[in-house]
Amino acid sequence: MSSLQGKSILVTGGGTGIGAGCAAYFASRGARVTISGRRENRLREVADAIGPACRIVVGDVTSAADRQAMVDAAVAHGGGRLDCLVNNAGITHHGGLMEQTEASVMKVLQSNVAAPLLLTQAALPALEASQGSVIFIGSVHTRLAMAGRLAYAASKGAVQNMSRVLAAELGPRKVRVNCVIPGAVATEINAAVTGQDPAEAKAFFYKLAHMHPIGRIGEPEDIGQAMEYLMLATWTTGAVVDVDGGMGLGAAKL
């Protein structure tokens, strides 16, 4: 029996990148996964590749109605239960202080901080019923200060602190809350703001291998393995786990 056999997992942003790879990994370990995102075609591609263990729900995490629909779909696909909410959906906005606008800052904070907080709220009854857990995604940008990542780093710092506070708050309700901090994984997250096409956005990450003492950038499955541990480790809550090939050590050779 696989270790995630029978688990019901909701992965936001599961149509691409880390979310898609983790969804496939969880399904390979026996879980039923529900993936959400705004682009139906991307979700369908992932679900078709995974098979019946994966169901899609199209929606925007910044919409209250869509958040509830995500939870409802995951509970239905999970046979009445939800064991883990993976708050993976996120955006970035590159630029320094003078490139920020109120709208750009608020969009990053709404997508990366407010939306996962409120989705966790919507999922709490189901998570409490299953004594499940929540996993947030932080960023190595909270370990390494890099000019031009202002709003993104601020939002991910908030995510990490939110995760720890929620762990304290929800522990008595038997819901665990943890956070992973990925290093560089080749995804499309830079494409929307750099104007690069998705392939170029991914290629950008492969140039960062030297920043990881392990000698390579990450694969979504690397992140999925750490999440699997956090889903199964029944006494681990409030953990902020670096899954970054050592990038956050700041030991990159020049």
Ligand X SMILES: NC(=O)c1ccc[n+]([C@@H]2O[C@H](COP(=O)([O-])OP(=O)(O)OC[C@H]3O[C@@H](n4cnc5c(N)ncnc54)[C@H](OP(=O)(O)O)[C@@H]3O)[C@@H](O)[C@H]2O)c1
Catalytic annotation, residues: 152
The region of 9-17, 126-134, 165-173, 231-239 touching ligand X under the rule CB under 6 A is: 9-17
| 70 scored as a contact of ligand X (CB under 6 A) | no
Do strands 8-12 and 84-87 pair parallel, antiparallel, or not at all (unpaired)?
Answer: parallel
Alpha carbon distance 250, 243 (integer Å)? 14
Nearer to ligand X, 60 or 221 (CB): 60
| 90 scored as a contact of ligand X (CB under 6 A) | yes
Sequential DSSP letters for 111-173: IIIIHHHHHHHHHHHHHHHHT-EEEEE--GGGTS--TTBHHHHHHHHHHHHHHHHHHHHHGGG
- Residues 19, 94 contacting (CB under 8 angstroms): no
Which of 34, 111, 130, 142 contacts ligand X by CB under 6 A?
111
Which of 120, 163, 187, 237 contacts ligand X by CB under 6 A?
187
Residues 6+ apart with CB under 8 A from 238: 163, 164, 167, 168, 171, 177, 178
| 45 scored as a contact of ligand X (CB under 6 A) | no
| 224 scored as a contact of ligand X (CB under 6 A) | no
| 16 scored as a contact of ligand X (CB under 6 A) | yes
| 142 scored as a contact of ligand X (CB under 6 A) | no
| 37 scored as a contact of ligand X (CB under 6 A) | yes
Applying CB under 6 A, the residues found at the interface with ligand X are 12-13, 15-19, 37-39, 42, 60-62, 88-91, 111, 137, 139-140, 182, 184-185, 187-189
